[in-house]
Every structure is written in structure tokens, then in C-alpha cells.
């Protein structure tokens, strides 16, 4: 395949960038969705003081400029954590997963809280209470199944968003450290050759567009397949 000025195969770097992007996107989504699902459903179902505390924490966290906050963490704390790989991740990937995951759960928490607030007033939940079902059983058997569809859709959209965020940070030099390839770092290098080798700019950009579009379409399809309300 074509090589850059350092003799590195651009096609292999593009494939490695796909691995890095998917690891960041899926890992960060798993963390943020888990936290958001647990806190959001608890706040919506139990209400009271718990709902107030979780809602205030969510609102305070959302008040910070998310992207600037991530950039600040990635450029400070991230430099100390980049060497932690867990034995199978590239340098810097775990840092992005943790930073994205821990500081993006509040969006999903608000969504799941709103859905749970609506579900807890439904007739089937009231019927379960009347026959003596515990709160844990109601949440497990009647609330969570109705959160599967929104969880899948929100997760796929989040994967696409995290992939774009990783590419943006790597483009700015704050993402996965070199020499590890990522789509953002490939796009950052491409302007140096856009007159002589424009394809170096085209392929990473096309990969980003196709991947994010694919995850969005996947979310729509899975929602129709698994959400019991979407087919009504």
C-alpha cells in the first residue's frame, strides 16, 4: 500500500485507526450508559431526595463546557495515564475511554429518568404494586425491559459521537499519542500532502463519515427490532 514520509503503510494505519476509534467509542459508551441507566432509572423510580440529589449533580455537571472539560483533562491527567493499557489497549486509549465515559453519563441519565418517570405511572406498574411486587422486581421486570430500546438507540448514537470526539482530540494532538495511528491523527497529517496526495485526506474522513452513519442506521434498526413500543 501507499506509505507516508516515514515509510508507514497508510492502509494499515487506517485499519489501526478503526480499531482505536471503536475501542474508544464502545468502551466510553459502556461506561456512560451503565452509569446513566442506573442513576437515571433510580432517580425516576424512587423520586424524593434521591431524585433531587441525582438531578442537581446532573445539572451541575452539564453546566460545564463538555468539550473544554475533556480537553483539559486529556492534556493534564491524561498524560499520566497514557501508559496504562490493561495488556490489550494502545497507549492513551484507556485514558480517553475513562474521560469520555465518566463525564458524559449525565445526558443518558436525564433521558432514562424521564422515561422511568413516565413508566412508573403506567397501569401495569400500579397492578404490580397491588399484587405485592417489590420495587426491585418492578424495576427488573417492568421498567428495564422498556428501557432496552432507548438504551440501544442512545448507545449507538453515543458510539458515533465518541468516535468523532476521539478524532477531534487526536486531530488537535490531545488524543491517542503518536506513533499510535488514529483517524484524527491521520487527518491532522493529511493537510501537509493535500496537493500532491489528496487521498490521504479523503480516506480517513470517509471512514469517519461511513462509521458514524452506520452506527446511526444500526440504532434505528435495533430500536424497531427490540423496543416493544416502536412497532405499535
Q: What total number of domains does the chain contain?
A: 1
| Residue 201, pLDDT score | 75
4 domain residue, yes or no: no
231 in any annotated domain: no
Cβ atoms < 10 Å from Cβ of 93 = 25
pLDDT score for 73 = 75
In a domain, 1, yes or no: no
**Residue-number span of the structural domain to which 97 is assigned:** 10-226
CATH number, position 189: 1.10.3720.10
- 220 assigned to some structural domain: yes
Residue 32 in any domain: the answer is: yes
Q: What is the pLDDT of residue 26?
A: 92
pTM of the model as a whole: 0.83
Residue 227: the pLDDT is 60
Check residue 27 and give its pLDDT. 92
Structural domain includes residue 218:
yes
Digits of tens for pLDDT over the chain (232 positions)? Answer: 555 555 566 778 888 888 888 888 999 999 999 999 999 988 888 888 888 998 888 888 888 777 777 777 777 766 666 667 666 677 778 888 888 888 888 888 998 998 888 888 888 888 888 888 787 888 888 888 888 888 888 888 889 888 888 888 887 777 777 777 788 878 877 766 666 777 777 888 888 889 888 988 887 787 777 665 555 4
Evaluate whether 23 touches 162 at the Cβ level (below 8 Å).
Answer: no
Residue 193 resides in a domain: yes
Residue 213 counted as domain residue:
yes
Amino acid at each position: 500500500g501507499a506509505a507516508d514520509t516515514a515509510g508507514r503503510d497508510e492502509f494499515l494505519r487506517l485499519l489501526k485507526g478503526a480499531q482505536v476509534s471503536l475501542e474508544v467509542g464502545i468502551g466510553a459508551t459502556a461506561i456512560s450508559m451503565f452509569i446513566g441507566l442506573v442513576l437515571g432509572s433510580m432517580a425516576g423510580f424512587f423520586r424524593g431526595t434521591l431524585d433531587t440529589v441525582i438531578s442537581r449533580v446532573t445539572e451541575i455537571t452539564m453546566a460545564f463546557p463538555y468539550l473544554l472539560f475533556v480537553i483539559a483533562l486529556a492534556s493534564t491527567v491524561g498524560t499520566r495515564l497514557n501508559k496504562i493499557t490493561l495488556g490489550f489497549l494502545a497507549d492513551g486509549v484507556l485514558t480517553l475511554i475513562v474521560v469520555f465515559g465518566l463525564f458524559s453519563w449525565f445526558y443518558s441519565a436525564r433521558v432514562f429518568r424521564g422515561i422511568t418517570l413516565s413508566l412508573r405511572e403506567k397501569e401495569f406498574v400500579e397492578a404490580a404494586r397491588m399484587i405485592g411486587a417489590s420495587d426491585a422486581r418492578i424495576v427488573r421486570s417492568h421498567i428495564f425491559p422498556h428501557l432496552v430500546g432507548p438504551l440501544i438507540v442512545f448507545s449507538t448514537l453515543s458510539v458515533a459521537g465518541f468516535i468523532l470526539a476521539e478524532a477531534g482530540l487526536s486531530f488537535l494532538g490531545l488524543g491517542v499519542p503518536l506513533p499510535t495511528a488514529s483517524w484524527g491523527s491521520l487527518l491532522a497529517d493529511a493537510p501537509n500532502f493535500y496537493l500532491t496526495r489528496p487521498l490521504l485526506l479523503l480516506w480517513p474522513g470517509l471512514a469517519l463519515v461511513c462509521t458514524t452513519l452506520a452506527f446511526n442506521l444500526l440504532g434505528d434498526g435495533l430500536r424497531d427490532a427490540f423496543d416493544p413500543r416502536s412497532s405499535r
